[in-house]
Structure 1
Amino acid sequence: MTTRRYLHTVTLWTNGKVSVAGGNEYNCWGLLNSAEIYDPSTGVWTRMSNMSLAYYQHTVTLLTNGQVLVVGRYISDGYSFSGHSTSSELYNPLAGIWTKGDNMTVSRIAHTTSVLSNGKVLVIGGTGYNGTFSSAELYS
């Protein structure tokens, strides 16, 4: 990778490439909005366009339409972790850009996501302002 990171996400694309997104470079000052893609056929990492926000303890889901959805994130004020977010972004690999997605109804981090047979994404559990969640929501 070109940027050191931890608690980032890794996504396997249908073309065999692998992307990493977000995470933390070193502490609450180091939350990342960057993403990179690895091509195993060449062994080369290439920077993707930056997300509009930094994502940490989020999920990234490959959608049935080939786009990538990133949801949930820690917020940092630069001195400490100051909250959670309902934000999401979509990456369009054909255009090479991230766009703002619909907000989740509940701000959460450390959750999981799964693509259902109807193409919707089920966002499950996690934690937030009110503790650990047993709830889930559908993202379409």
Structure 2
Amino acid sequence: MSGAVARRVAVIVALVGALLFYFVVLGSRGITMIQDGRATSIGLGIGLLILPFLGLWIVVATLRAGLAHQHLAKRIFDEGRELDVYDLPRRPSGRIEREAADTLFAQVKAEWEADPDNWRSSYRLARAYDYAGDRGRARDTMRRAVRLEQLEVRKQ
């Protein structure tokens, strides 16, 4: 594991640990409020007990999605099909210039339209959406790529 990857993993582990600590504290406060016995305290305590479970679900769903995306990224990289964006002009912020991102998107979308049920073309389209700044469609398309890849694996 490279140093940059190790640092990212360490940050993720630290943040998840902090969230778990927060969920435990929040849950214990909820139990304390319920034990108070007054109707208002019981209602608020139940609400406080729900929040850690909701938070835990969000953390697990986010980590699962991130791992699935990393899995696809590794497969695409191993197959030599990752989008080549290194030569594209960039803004001072490091983001790809809009016109270049739109040109890349048009090329990748044409590839996707030719084979929309291939997880590789959906993955590449999701990346192109992201480079073009459309994060919502990028997430939706990446979810589609994950589902298609899982179907492909099951068929094998």
The bucket for the TM-score relative to the shorter chain is under 0.3
Higher RCO (C-alpha under 8 Å, 6+ residues apart) = 1
More helix by share: 2
Q: If the length of structure 1 is used for normalisation, what is the TM-score?
A: 0.22
More strand by share: 1
Q: If the length of structure 2 is used for normalisation, what is the TM-score?
A: 0.21
